Structure 1
Amino acid sequence: MMTRMRQLGLCAALLLSVLPACTVTDAQNPEDILSEDDLDAPAAPAVADEPVVEDKAQPALAPEATNIITAVDDDVVDYAIADYKSFDPSGIIVHFEFDDARLSEVTIAALNKIVAGMKKDPLARVSVRGHADKQGTEGYNKTLSSRRAKVIEDYLIQHGIERDRLNPVSMGESDPIEDGNTVTVFKKNRRGDFTINYGPSAFGKAP
């Protein structure tokens, strides 16, 4: 009976020695215990006393965007050529034989200047005017001058000039270089000549 009592007493003493230690441990860590109020509470700012400053600076361009802008500027500079000269074909005149619309070697040499000038000046559009002297009827001369303008146009197209940059015009005998009835005057008037036009409604077409 005494042995049993001693065992109970030792157990009670051991229990009493453990409980205070548990209570002290729990009391020392109150933040480890969360209540329902703690779950709904807003989070405190990391630094309560430091004011928040809004960054109003513009974002920097990415390197790719800077490269694109530079490339566009370079393209503009390439087209803005300081010593650029437009092509003026008004001083070039080609001549034909009597009642003929064939191109001679001299005529071809002159037309090659037109080709070179229009290739250097991609904005140039040229009216090709065919002329006839006043020998023959007015209707025949109109047709003959049309053939002369057409053969010039065909040559320019064959040598790389776009058709929509050319405008063949039949002048007939209406615009002579010189009036008269001599062979010399007739030779001067049966010709092809050229005028330039840069406008959006070139050759009378709607823009």
Structure 2
Amino acid sequence: MKTFHIFITGLCLATAVSCSQQQNSAEDGGNAVIENIMSRRSIRSYKGCTVGRDTLQTILECGINAPNGMNKQSWEVRVVDDPAVMDEIIDLMEAGNPDAKPGSVKGCFRGAPVMIFIANDPSYDCSPIDCGLLSENIMLSGWSLGVGSVCLGSPVRFLKNAPEALKKLDFSEGYTPIICIGMGYPAESPEAKPRDLGKVRFVE
């Protein structure tokens, strides 16, 4: 029994040392994931060039590998990277929102050369959470490849009044637009805005 206790004690110490070494190694050598998260900014000004399909495919594959409840994958994603198609969608959205301020529909897309429209399944109560996780994966993976992004809510509001634009996006019946992401190569380098750490507390 004494030998067993010595063995368990040694195992616990070895595990503690191993965990400590891993933590120190991460702190000393930097952590690419953390650096990517902390350096990402919302980009609202983009260069004229678009993002290649191969790069977008990688970003989207990262997106759909996000954690999601029961692996329901209760999302649908539509990507618009053709300027002519984007102009058509904007025209349809403007037609559905005649009371909108002139230029506000087009302006809400921030001139991003790539637009990603995400719809969720409202019949599943965790679907909005899953779509949020999908979106974060898209934005962070894009940033790691030098592609900037901005998460947009205004296009979703305009889409609600534009059935022809929704028809163009061709979401499955029952799916509702919930998030729009603009993407492209950044033409600006905004500074980080303050974050309130006071909103985070450990419960003792």
- What range is the shorter-chain TM-score in? under 0.3
TM-score, normalised via structure 1 length: 0.26
Name the larger-Rg structure.
1
RCO comparison, higher one (Cα < 8 Å, 6+): 2
